[in-house]
Structure 1
Amino acid sequence: MPWTKRNYPPSLKNFEPRVRGKAVEIANALLEEGYEAGRAIAIATSQAKEWNENHPEQEAASGTAVNLRVVPHEGSWAIKRQGSRQPEAVAPTKEAAENKAKQIASDENICVIVHRRDGTVEKSFNYR
Protein backbone atom coordinates (compact mmCIF):
# COMPACT_ATOMS: atom_id res chain seq x y z
CA MET A 1 0.00 0.00 0.00
CA PRO A 2 1.54 3.34 -0.99
CA TRP A 3 2.19 6.03 1.57
CA THR A 4 0.45 9.41 1.50
CA LYS A 5 0.85 12.88 3.01
CA ARG A 6 -1.08 11.72 6.06
CA ASN A 7 -0.05 8.07 6.21
CA TYR A 8 3.73 7.73 6.06
CA PRO A 9 6.48 5.81 7.86
CA PRO A 10 7.14 6.99 11.44
CA SER A 11 10.78 7.68 10.53
CA LEU A 12 9.58 10.65 8.42
CA LYS A 13 7.52 12.35 11.14
CA ASN A 14 10.16 14.96 12.04
CA PHE A 15 10.78 16.09 8.45
CA GLU A 16 9.45 19.37 7.10
CA PRO A 17 6.24 18.69 5.13
CA ARG A 18 7.89 19.61 1.81
CA VAL A 19 10.79 17.18 2.32
CA ARG A 20 8.52 14.48 3.79
CA GLY A 21 6.23 14.77 0.76
CA LYS A 22 9.16 14.33 -1.61
CA ALA A 23 10.44 11.35 0.42
CA VAL A 24 7.01 9.72 0.27
CA GLU A 25 6.89 10.30 -3.51
CA ILE A 26 10.34 8.74 -3.99
CA ALA A 27 9.66 5.83 -1.62
CA ASN A 28 6.42 4.98 -3.41
CA ALA A 29 8.24 4.96 -6.76
CA LEU A 30 10.90 2.64 -5.31
CA LEU A 31 8.24 0.30 -3.91
CA GLU A 32 6.69 0.08 -7.38
CA GLU A 33 10.11 -0.92 -8.71
CA GLY A 34 10.23 -3.78 -6.21
CA TYR A 35 12.40 -2.36 -3.43
CA GLU A 36 11.85 -3.63 0.11
CA ALA A 37 10.08 -1.02 2.30
CA GLY A 38 13.01 -0.38 4.67
CA ARG A 39 15.45 0.10 1.82
CA ALA A 40 13.00 2.32 -0.06
CA ILE A 41 12.61 4.59 2.98
CA ALA A 42 16.36 4.88 3.48
CA ILE A 43 17.00 5.77 -0.17
CA ALA A 44 14.01 8.13 -0.32
CA THR A 45 15.11 9.95 2.84
CA SER A 46 18.58 10.55 1.48
CA GLN A 47 17.34 11.67 -1.95
CA ALA A 48 14.65 13.94 -0.50
CA LYS A 49 17.22 15.73 1.67
CA GLU A 50 19.49 16.20 -1.35
CA TRP A 51 16.55 17.40 -3.46
CA ASN A 52 15.63 19.96 -0.81
CA GLU A 53 19.18 21.34 -0.74
CA ASN A 54 19.31 21.62 -4.54
CA HIS A 55 15.80 23.04 -4.97
CA PRO A 56 15.25 25.77 -2.41
CA GLU A 57 11.77 27.14 -1.95
CA GLN A 58 11.39 30.59 -3.45
CA GLU A 59 8.83 33.22 -2.64
CA ALA A 60 8.48 36.28 -4.80
CA ALA A 61 7.28 39.56 -3.38
CA SER A 62 5.22 40.14 -6.53
CA GLY A 63 3.56 36.73 -6.31
CA THR A 64 5.32 35.36 -9.41
CA ALA A 65 7.79 32.51 -9.39
CA VAL A 66 11.39 33.63 -9.45
CA ASN A 67 13.37 30.54 -10.39
CA LEU A 68 14.68 30.44 -13.93
CA ARG A 69 14.47 27.17 -15.82
CA VAL A 70 16.52 26.14 -18.83
CA VAL A 71 14.27 23.87 -20.88
CA PRO A 72 14.12 22.40 -24.40
CA HIS A 73 12.07 24.61 -26.71
CA GLU A 74 11.21 23.96 -30.37
CA GLY A 75 14.58 22.49 -31.29
CA SER A 76 16.51 25.01 -29.20
CA TRP A 77 16.72 25.92 -25.50
CA ALA A 78 14.65 28.46 -23.62
CA ILE A 79 15.00 30.34 -20.37
CA LYS A 80 11.65 30.53 -18.61
CA ARG A 81 10.56 31.97 -15.31
CA GLN A 82 9.13 29.16 -13.24
CA GLY A 83 5.40 29.05 -13.83
CA SER A 84 5.54 31.11 -17.04
CA ARG A 85 4.61 29.76 -20.45
CA GLN A 86 6.51 32.38 -22.44
CA PRO A 87 10.30 32.14 -22.69
CA GLU A 88 12.31 35.03 -21.36
CA ALA A 89 15.01 34.19 -23.91
CA VAL A 90 15.80 31.47 -26.45
CA ALA A 91 19.27 30.19 -27.35
CA PRO A 92 20.45 27.77 -30.03
CA THR A 93 22.36 25.58 -27.54
CA LYS A 94 21.82 24.40 -24.00
CA GLU A 95 25.19 25.82 -22.96
CA ALA A 96 24.31 29.29 -24.28
CA ALA A 97 20.92 29.23 -22.53
CA GLU A 98 22.50 28.04 -19.28
CA ASN A 99 25.16 30.78 -19.38
CA LYS A 100 22.56 33.48 -20.03
CA ALA A 101 20.28 32.13 -17.28
CA LYS A 102 23.18 32.07 -14.80
CA GLN A 103 23.97 35.70 -15.65
CA ILE A 104 20.34 36.77 -15.10
CA ALA A 105 20.06 34.73 -11.89
CA SER A 106 23.28 36.19 -10.54
CA ASP A 107 22.03 39.73 -11.18
CA GLU A 108 18.65 38.98 -9.55
CA ASN A 109 19.90 36.72 -6.71
CA ILE A 110 17.69 33.79 -7.73
CA CYS A 111 18.12 30.14 -8.80
CA VAL A 112 18.62 28.45 -12.16
CA ILE A 113 17.30 24.94 -12.69
CA VAL A 114 18.67 23.21 -15.79
CA HIS A 115 16.61 20.41 -17.31
CA ARG A 116 17.57 17.55 -19.59
CA ARG A 117 15.85 17.09 -22.93
CA ASP A 118 13.49 14.55 -21.29
CA GLY A 119 12.37 17.19 -18.76
CA THR A 120 14.13 15.83 -15.69
CA VAL A 121 16.31 18.13 -13.62
CA GLU A 122 20.00 17.88 -14.43
CA LYS A 123 21.50 20.53 -12.12
CA SER A 124 20.77 23.79 -10.37
CA PHE A 125 22.60 26.95 -9.40
CA ASN A 126 21.66 29.05 -6.41
CA TYR A 127 22.58 32.75 -6.51
CA ARG A 128 20.62 33.81 -3.42
Structure 2
Amino acid sequence: MSWSKNDYPDSFKNLTIDTKSKAIEIGNALLDEGYEEERAIPIAIDRARSAMEGGQKEEEYHLLPHDNGWQLKKADGQRAIYVEETKNKLLDKAKKYANDHDGSLVIHKEDGSVETTLYDS
Protein backbone atom coordinates (compact mmCIF):
# COMPACT_ATOMS: atom_id res chain seq x y z
CA MET A 1 0.00 0.00 0.00
CA SER A 2 1.40 3.39 -0.98
CA TRP A 3 1.57 6.31 1.43
CA SER A 4 0.24 9.79 0.66
CA LYS A 5 0.14 13.27 2.22
CA ASN A 6 -3.03 12.23 4.06
CA ASP A 7 -2.13 8.60 4.85
CA TYR A 8 1.33 7.86 6.20
CA PRO A 9 2.97 6.08 9.16
CA ASP A 10 2.62 7.69 12.59
CA SER A 11 6.42 7.94 12.71
CA PHE A 12 6.25 10.66 10.03
CA LYS A 13 3.82 12.80 12.07
CA ASN A 14 6.36 15.19 13.62
CA LEU A 15 8.54 15.66 10.54
CA THR A 16 8.47 19.04 8.82
CA ILE A 17 6.21 19.22 5.78
CA ASP A 18 9.11 19.08 3.32
CA THR A 19 10.85 16.22 5.13
CA LYS A 20 7.56 14.32 5.46
CA SER A 21 6.90 14.66 1.71
CA LYS A 22 10.40 13.38 0.95
CA ALA A 23 10.01 10.49 3.43
CA ILE A 24 6.72 9.50 1.77
CA GLU A 25 8.40 9.57 -1.65
CA ILE A 26 11.40 7.53 -0.47
CA GLY A 27 9.21 5.15 1.55
CA ASN A 28 6.98 4.41 -1.43
CA ALA A 29 10.06 3.65 -3.55
CA LEU A 30 11.35 1.28 -0.88
CA LEU A 31 7.98 -0.48 -0.66
CA ASP A 32 7.96 -0.84 -4.46
CA GLU A 33 11.40 -2.48 -4.18
CA GLY A 34 9.94 -5.06 -1.78
CA TYR A 35 11.00 -3.68 1.61
CA GLU A 36 8.73 -4.52 4.55
CA GLU A 37 7.01 -1.47 6.11
CA GLU A 38 8.83 -1.93 9.43
CA ARG A 39 12.15 -1.66 7.58
CA ALA A 40 11.12 1.02 5.07
CA ILE A 41 9.91 3.54 7.68
CA PRO A 42 13.22 4.21 9.51
CA ILE A 43 15.20 4.14 6.26
CA ALA A 44 12.79 6.64 4.63
CA ILE A 45 12.98 8.98 7.63
CA ASP A 46 16.79 8.84 7.75
CA ARG A 47 17.20 9.40 4.01
CA ALA A 48 14.60 12.19 3.94
CA ARG A 49 16.31 14.04 6.80
CA SER A 50 19.66 13.69 5.05
CA ALA A 51 18.21 14.92 1.76
CA MET A 52 16.60 17.94 3.39
CA GLU A 53 19.72 19.09 5.29
CA GLY A 54 20.83 22.37 3.82
CA GLY A 55 17.61 22.62 1.86
CA GLN A 56 15.13 25.46 2.03
CA LYS A 57 13.59 25.78 5.44
CA GLU A 58 9.83 25.97 5.73
CA GLU A 59 8.28 29.18 7.04
CA GLU A 60 7.31 29.35 10.67
CA TYR A 61 4.22 31.25 11.83
CA HIS A 62 3.36 32.13 15.42
CA LEU A 63 -0.04 32.48 17.09
CA LEU A 64 0.74 34.98 19.87
CA PRO A 65 -0.97 37.28 22.36
CA HIS A 66 -1.55 40.81 21.02
CA ASP A 67 -2.69 44.09 22.58
CA ASN A 68 -6.07 43.62 20.87
CA GLY A 69 -6.38 39.86 21.52
CA TRP A 70 -4.35 37.36 19.47
CA GLN A 71 -2.19 37.68 16.35
CA LEU A 72 -0.64 35.53 13.64
CA LYS A 73 2.88 36.59 12.71
CA LYS A 74 5.63 35.21 10.53
CA ALA A 75 8.58 34.17 12.73
CA ASP A 76 10.75 37.06 11.55
CA GLY A 77 7.85 39.40 10.79
CA GLN A 78 7.35 42.88 12.17
CA ARG A 79 3.58 43.09 11.63
CA ALA A 80 0.65 40.83 12.33
CA ILE A 81 -0.86 38.90 9.42
CA TYR A 82 -4.18 38.54 11.28
CA VAL A 83 -5.52 39.84 14.60
CA GLU A 84 -8.62 38.48 16.37
CA GLU A 85 -10.18 39.11 19.78
CA THR A 86 -9.81 35.49 20.92
CA LYS A 87 -7.35 32.67 20.32
CA ASN A 88 -10.15 30.34 19.23
CA LYS A 89 -11.38 32.80 16.58
CA LEU A 90 -7.89 33.00 15.11
CA LEU A 91 -6.86 29.33 15.37
CA ASP A 92 -8.64 27.94 12.28
CA LYS A 93 -7.61 30.92 10.18
CA ALA A 94 -3.98 30.57 11.36
CA LYS A 95 -3.90 26.82 10.61
CA LYS A 96 -5.21 27.40 7.10
CA TYR A 97 -2.76 30.23 6.46
CA ALA A 98 0.27 28.22 7.66
CA ASN A 99 -0.84 25.18 5.66
CA ASP A 100 -1.46 27.23 2.49
CA HIS A 101 2.04 28.69 2.81
CA ASP A 102 3.72 25.30 3.52
CA GLY A 103 4.69 26.42 6.99
CA SER A 104 4.51 25.25 10.55
CA LEU A 105 2.34 26.92 13.18
CA VAL A 106 3.74 27.57 16.66
CA ILE A 107 0.89 28.14 19.10
CA HIS A 108 1.72 30.12 22.23
CA LYS A 109 0.05 30.33 25.61
CA GLU A 110 -1.19 33.62 27.04
CA ASP A 111 2.12 34.05 28.91
CA GLY A 112 4.03 33.79 25.61
CA SER A 113 5.48 30.32 26.19
CA VAL A 114 5.03 27.68 23.49
CA GLU A 115 1.98 25.45 23.83
CA THR A 116 2.47 23.30 20.73
CA THR A 117 3.81 23.26 17.17
CA LEU A 118 1.82 22.00 14.22
CA TYR A 119 3.78 20.91 11.16
CA ASP A 120 0.85 19.96 8.97
CA SER A 121 -2.02 22.07 10.05
TM-score of the two chains, using structure 1 as the length reference = 0.47
Asked which structure has the greater RCO (Cα within 8 Å, sep 6+), the reply is: 2
- Normalising by structure 2, we get a TM-score of 0.50
